């Protein structure tokens, strides 16, 4: 009976998958796809209003998630998922940044299910 129970649990563990993205792979995705995102920034008094147009698909993989990172992506000060909305037939995200902010801002965009594509897009406002 113990052997059957062990084999039962083993089948669950054998079906597990893991995704390991290397820095090299991430750099290739960033270089290949970062230019596909249109960043528009408008200064309103002391704040930049930033909207980003997002392609619905990259290399046959559907858009999945957008998030913003403040600081270093390996040790962020802040991270939040961004709500996607449609404007003029395009998927977009929108957020505000203080004009005098010194922190680095980056978008993380994910495509595909499971082991999909992850793209880091720096946000430069000045």
Q: 58-73 pLDDT, tens per residue?
A: 999 999 999 999 998 8
Is the pLDDT reported for residue 110 higher than 70?
yes
User: What residues make up the domain containing 47?
Assistant: 23-123
- Tell me the pLDDT band of 79, cut-offs 50, 70 and 90: very high
In a domain? residue 17: no
CATH number at residue 30: 2.60.40
| Site of tokens 């920034």 | 41
In a domain? residue 74: yes
In a domain? residue 28: yes
In a domain? residue 10: no
Half-sphere exposure in the Cβ direction for 44 (13 Å, CA): 9
Give the integer Cα–Cα distance in Å for 115 and 21: 9
Give the pair of three-digit tokens for residue 100: 């005098």
In a domain? residue 9: no
Give the integer Cα–Cα distance in Å for 67 and 57: 17
């Amino acid at each position: 009976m113990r052997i059957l129970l062990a084999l039962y649990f083993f089948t669950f563990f054998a079906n597990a998958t893991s995704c390991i993205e290397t820095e090299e792979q991430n750099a290739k995705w960033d270089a290949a796809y970062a230019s596909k995102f249109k960043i528009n920034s408008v200064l309103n008094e002391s704040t930049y209003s930033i909207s980003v147009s997002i392609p619905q698909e990259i290399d046959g993989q559907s858009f999945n998630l957008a998030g913003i990172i403040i600081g270093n992506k390996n040790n962020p000060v802040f991270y939040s998922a961004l709500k996607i909305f449609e404007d003029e037939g395009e998927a977009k995200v929108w957020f505000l940044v203080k004009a005098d902010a010194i922190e680095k801002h980056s978008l993380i965009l994910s495509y595909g299910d499971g082991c999909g594509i992850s793209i880091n897009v720096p946000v430069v406002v000045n």
